[in-house]
Chain A
Amino acid sequence: AQSVTQLGSHVSVSEGALVLLRCNYSSSVPPYLFWYVQYPNQGLQLLLKYTSAATLVKGINGFEAEFKKSETSFHLTKPSAHMSDAAEYFCAEAPDTGRRALTFGSGTRLQVQP
């Protein structure tokens, strides 16, 4: 069965510091991969997606993610954290079957310290 692993349920960074949120996928075929962000008391919002085009994907709010097949990873980064980036981040993988439902990771809560 497919699985998405997010290393670290909580990550804390200082404002202005690099943000790195880790995600590893399990699919053996080139997958579709997503990062979603959830702000407090809101639904999930798409941050960026990888669909077999460029391996470095740029998203909203200055975030980007790099697809590395050799490492089965899709880590999310942002060069300089802002207080408004504090949220929960979910990595997700599209199915390699006819199903349409994404497989979500368990989420990483990002705290940004002033």
Chain B
Amino acid sequence: DAGVIQSPRHEVTEMGQEVTLRCKPISGHNSLFWYRQTMMRGLELLIYFNNNVPIDDSGMPEDRFSAKMPNASFSTLKIQPSEPRDSAVYFCASSLGARDRPNYEQYFGPGTRLTVT
């Protein structure tokens, strides 16, 4: 398996521009997680999906952030408009578990390093 795939690996954009980060989870996995990592705040969970449905988006910083999962093999995280404080590494992770037998083992993608100038 190719693992979790994220694109782009690096993104540099100007303040005010729209940014879209993409994630392809491991085939067959039914949970998908978006994280943000910064030096100041460490690793933060932004949102996670189970069976393509958003379950917990309490970590999404503000309305400028939105995430979608239109199908089991694709998810996007969009920032509009972007600000310099959004500069971070964004990770996507996926896992497989059943309702009565959850599996919390997560597999992480390589991350997207976002720089907003």
Instruction: Spell out A's residues near B (CB within 8 Å).
Output: 32, 34, 36, 41-46, 49, 90, 94-95, 99-102, 104, 106-107
Q: Is B25 an interface residue (CB 8 A)?
A: no
Q: Are B43 and A107 in contact (CB under 8 A)?
A: yes
Interface residues, chain B, CB within 8 Å of chain A?
A: 4, 31, 33, 42-43, 45, 48, 50, 55-56, 91, 93, 95, 97, 102, 104-111
Number of interchain pairs (Cβ within 8 Å): 52
Residues of B within 8 A of A95 (CB): 104
Q: Are B105 and A100 in contact (CB under 8 A)?
A: no
Knowing A32-B104, A49-B105 touch, does A100 contact B43 (C-beta < 8 A)? no
How far is A41 from B110 in the complex, measured between Cα atoms in Å?
Answer: 8
Q: How far is the CB of B110 from chain A (nearest CB, A)?
A: 5
Distance from B79 Cβ to chain A, minimum over Cβ atoms (Å)? 20
A41–B42 CA distance with the chains assembled, in angstroms: 15
Beta-carbon contact of A94 and B104 below 8 Å: yes
- Report whether B102 and A100 are in contact in the complex, using a CB–CB cutoff of 8 Å: yes
Q: How far is the CA of A46 from the CA of B95 in the complex (A)?
A: 12
Choose one: A34, A102, A107; the contact of B42 (CB below 8 Å): A107
Could you tell me the dominant secondary structure of chain B's interface residues?
strand
Point out the residues of chain A lying under 8 angstroms from B93, CB to CB.
Answer: 43-44
**Given the complex of chains A and B, what is the CA–CA distance between A104 and B111 in angstroms?**
17
CB distance from B115 to the nearest CB of A (A): 14
| Known contacts A44-B91, A107-B43; is-contact A100 B108 (Cβ 8 Å) | no
A104 to B108, CA, bound (A): 14
Are A106 and B42 closer than 8 Å at their CB atoms?
Answer: yes
Contact between B4 and A100 (Cβ–Cβ < 8 Å)? Answer: no
Contact assessment for B43 and A34 in the assembled complex, using a CB-CB cutoff below 8 Å: no
20 inter-chain pairs at a CB distance below 8 angstroms, sorted by A residue, are A41-B110, A41-B111, A43-B108, A44-B93, A44-B106, A46-B105, A46-B106, A46-B107, A49-B105, A90-B43, A94-B104, A95-B104, A99-B55, A99-B56, A100-B31, A100-B55, A100-B102, A101-B33, A102-B45, A102-B104
